[in-house]
Amino acid sequence: MIFIIACIISFLPYFFLYLWLKNLHKDDEAYRKLCSNALIRGVLCVFPVILFSGITYFLIRMTRVQDTNPLLYQALYKFIVLALVEETVKFLAFRKVLKKSDYPFSWMDMTACASIVGLGFGALEGVVYAIGASVPVVLIRGFTVPHVGYGFLVGYFYGKAEKTGKPFYKWVGFGLSWLLHGMYDFSLSDEFMAINDNLVVVPFILVFIDVVLVIMLISFVRKSKKREEYRTPLPGRERPDENQKAE
């Protein structure tokens, strides 16, 4: 019974964050549909992740590195099989949301959209990880909502890239999300902990960073209400007015 209650509580941050982001434009039905689409695509990301993770896992195992260098194997497994595959699939899903919609994305909208893709993925992944997990682990994963933070990095820097006309920012966001994700997963491995007893603090630092990223998302959205540059449509994403349509 306690475990079931813990699972329900762990999903509350996902639920409230989604409602909050979706209601940023309460009267804009197109935006609300966009949020629903981003959530669905985020949830669906779990399935291609399972497929591609299986393929990359098999390829790495073929090298037999797990027998010769367990630490290197764990690094490859955590950074490639888990983190890189997950972040790549979520990134592509986010790009698909942008391409399939003619919505006039602002910097804030783009950030919210990427965060929701991560939220959808993290919510379903949380169900999978809850199987056989302990109550503390379930609660920690729920309240840190790491994939929301990773999505924030992707969306924020993607929006910055379009705002400034500097495409490399897109890869900055992707790279940071991948690095933090990989480091978190790798830091929990027995091989990593065996390097030095003091490294036990690393997972706690990374969990703290996950929380900070969510706080930064909330702060950015609040700032956007006062800074028009975050709310105006990004270059090339403006909707043509009626006169332009007529022409």
Q: What is the pLDDT of residues 102-143, one digit of tens each?
A: 999 999 999 999 999 999 999 998 887 777 667 777 788 788
d(CA 58, CA 81): 9
What is the identity of the amino acid at 92?
L
Residue 88 burial (CB < 10 Å; 0-12/13-18/19+)? Answer: middle
pLDDT recorded at residue 129: 73
What are the tens digits of pLDDT across the range 165-189? 999 999 999 999 999 999 999 999 9
Encode 96-114 in three state secondary structure.
Answer: HHHHCCCCCCEHHHHHHHH
Q: Does the reported pTM lie above 0.85?
A: yes
pLDDT exceeds 80 at position 57 = yes
pLDDT recorded at residue 125: 87
d(CA 6, CA 9): 5
pLDDT recorded at residue 242: 36
What are the tens digits of pLDDT across the range 177-224? 999 999 999 999 999 999 988 899 999 999 999 999 999 999 999 999
pLDDT recorded at residue 140: 80
What is the enclosing helix (H) or strand (E) of 51?
A: helix 46-62
Enumerate the domain spans of the chain: 2-236
pLDDT recorded at residue 244: 43
pLDDT exceeds 80 at position 96 = yes
In DSSP notation, 175-201 reads: HHHHHHHHHHHHHTSHHHHTT-GGGGH
